[in-house]
Amino acid sequence: MPRASYGTLEDEEGDRGGLQEMRRKAAEEEEHVSLWKILALNAHAFSYGLFYASVGVIVLPEEALKMFPQQHAIYLAVMLGIAGVSQLVSPFAGYLSDHSTNSMGRRMPFVLAGNGVLFCMVGCLYLARSMGWGLVYLFLLLIAILALNVAYTGFTGLVSDMIPADQMSVCSGIMGGCTAMGAVVGLICIGFLLPVEHAYFLYAVTLAICTPLTWYAANERRHDCASSEIDWKKVRSAYLISPSSHGDFFWVFISRMFYYMAVSVQIYILYYLRDVMTEQIVVDNAKSCTAILCIVSQGSSGLVSLVAGTLADRTGRKPAIYTAVTVMALVYIGYCFVDTYSMVILLGICYGAGNGIYISVDYALAVECLPSQESDGAKDLALWGVAAFLGTMFGPCVAGPLLAWLGYQPGSEHYAFIGYVGIMMCGVLYCIGCGSALLFVSKGNAPRLSRQSR
């Protein structure tokens, strides 16, 4: 009578391997984040974009003129300097977030605390501007922007922790789209629908709506950390970055700095429309035409960014950025050959598309190149944020004096056309710098396979 077979060793190993595969797939399904949760999570990006875009372009120039009428240009520079310097709090906030053992998690407390302080400061800023307390307004502005950056540092770390690698491109695209859409809403509301004094109410309402949405989407637990005490040597190192310490992330940092140097050329668009356009109605209404151009460009950026992140999974993230900076560079060249507003709008749409491609993948590439996603993610992503500050600061340091030198016309407040050619060429060189830095990055070239294809 033949003996019954109860399974060989190979069968048992096969069963064990199959069980491990089932567990692996189950874990993947468990960590998958729904589209609605990603959208809710990125509500913070919407409020951030609304605040930052409208404050810099509309609110601060108007408030500087109201409170410092004789020296508004100087105090506007002071306000923008405050906004820039406040970025330096981000690496320290990131370090604290990485080592937090709060029962609510290590990211969300910083988002809530930052937005809570910002909400209070919005009301105080409104009071200071109503009473004409200019110096008090400057101090409150510093506190407000510090709170904004603390909250954004927690948010970028939260996204890095929550979103799995195979969904990061989708999330990065949605983040870029929400930021751009927030900027469009802010520019439309404050530029055309609301007086500047009502901007503070808009900011408060936006924070009150968006913050709970991000909190609802967050799925954080208490994080166990070896030590919650502050190591000041590590804090100091949080502000240092080099190829040896950060590898690919260093070159992503340099690339992003050049990108913001390129973007900074856009601050001269108002003067460009005033001095180069042939239509008198555009020259007489350069401010309104600049606002319309910004809205159209940001709208184009937001729409493109919603799909570009997913498409970049098929091409690779670095090729997507190469495409983005090429489009932006061609737009800057195009500005040297047009003198009608309709052509400027067309170029603005193209610029927005290129910008949309970039913002849809830059966060995903930064996360992919992080030296450590577990222990120091927020700290390093805060450095990624500082790159924006450095680029915004360094870009005009070259372009501004170049415009004043090449475009100088004795006895006139207008600049000659050759001056604008000079700054547009700066924009082209900055775009080349952005793309060239990525040549030293080893990651981000290959297409990323979806879960289904695996």
Residues 248 and 214 in one domain: no
How high is the pLDDT of residue 90? 83
Residues 174 and 78 in one domain: yes
Q: Is there a contact between 155 and 115 (Cβ–Cβ < 8 Å)?
A: no
d(CA 245, CA 371): 8
Residues 217 and 244 in one domain: no
CATH number at residue 396: 1.20.1250.20
Least Cα distance to 380 among 48, 87, 92, 52 occurs for 92
Average pLDDT of the segment spanning 442-451: 62
Question: Is 355 within the bounds of a domain?
Answer: yes
Q: What's the whole-model pTM score?
A: 0.73
Query: Which of 76-80, 124-128, 391-395, 424-428 has the least mean pLDDT?
Result: 76-80
Question: Is 378 within the bounds of a domain?
Answer: yes
Identify the domain boundary among 173, 188, 221.
Answer: 221
Is the pLDDT at 6 greater than 60, yes or no?
no
Question: Is 138 within the bounds of a domain?
Answer: yes
Question: Is 17 within the bounds of a domain?
Answer: no
Question: Is 13 within the bounds of a domain?
Answer: no
Q: Which residue has better confidence, 392 or 372?
A: 392
Q: Which residue has better confidence, 379 or 403?
A: 403
Question: Is 12 within the bounds of a domain?
Answer: no
| Interval 282-300: pLDDT, tens | 988 887 888 889 889 988 9
Residues 259 and 191 in one domain: no
Is the pLDDT at 227 greater than 70, yes or no?
no
Average pLDDT of the segment spanning 346-358: 94
| C-alpha distances in Å from residue 144, one per residue of 119, 294, 393 | 8, 25, 20
Residues 311 and 432 in one domain: yes
Residues 59 and 151 in one domain: yes
Is the pLDDT at 371 greater than 90, yes or no?
no
Question: Is 105 within the bounds of a domain?
Answer: yes
Residues 338 and 393 in one domain: yes
The whole domain housing 372 covers 240-454
| Interval 8-17: pLDDT, tens | 444 545 544 4
d(CA 450, CA 167): 8
Residues 348 and 435 in one domain: yes
C-beta neighbour count of 232 within 10 angstroms: 9
| C-alpha distances in Å from residue 90, one per residue of 148, 352, 379 | 10, 27, 8
Residues 262 and 370 in one domain: yes
What is the 3-state secondary structure of the chain? Answer: CCCCCCCCHHHHHHHHHHHHHHHHHHHHHHHCCCHHHHHHHCHHHHHHHHHHHHHHHHHHHHHHHHHCCCCHHHHHHHHHHHHHHHHHHHHHHHHHHHCCCCCCCCCHHHHHHHHHHHHHHHHHHHHHHHHCCHHHHHHHHHHHHHHHHHHHHHHHHHHHHHCCHHHHHHHHHHHHHHHHHHHHHHHHHHHHHCCHHHHHHHHHHHHHHHHHHHHHHCCCCCCCCCCCCCCHHHHHHCCCCCHHHHCHHHHHHHHHHHHHHHHHHHHHHHHHHHHHCCCHHHHHCHHHHHHHHHHHHHHHHHHHHHHHHHHHHHHCHHHHHHHHHHHHHHHHHHHHHCCCHHHHHHHHHHHHHHHHHHHHHHHHHHHHCCCCCCCCHHHHHHHHHHHHHHHHHHHHHHHHHHHHHHCCCCCCCCCCHHHHHHHHHHHHHHHHHHHHHHHHCCCCCCCCCCCCCC
Question: Is 2 within the bounds of a domain?
Answer: no
Identify the domain boundary among 190, 221, 252.
Answer: 221
| C-alpha distances in Å from residue 319, one per residue of 148, 311, 441 | 32, 11, 12
d(CA 327, CA 317): 16
Number of domains in the chain: 2
Is the pLDDT at 220 greater than 80, yes or no?
no
How high is the pLDDT of residue 314? 82
Q: Is there a contact between 76 and 267 (Cβ–Cβ < 8 Å)?
A: no
Residues 244 and 212 in one domain: no
Residues 428 and 352 in one domain: yes
Identify the domain boundary among 221, 249, 276.
Answer: 221
d(CA 85, CA 106): 25
Confidence at 377, pLDDT banded by 50, 70, 90: low
Residues 187 and 328 in one domain: no
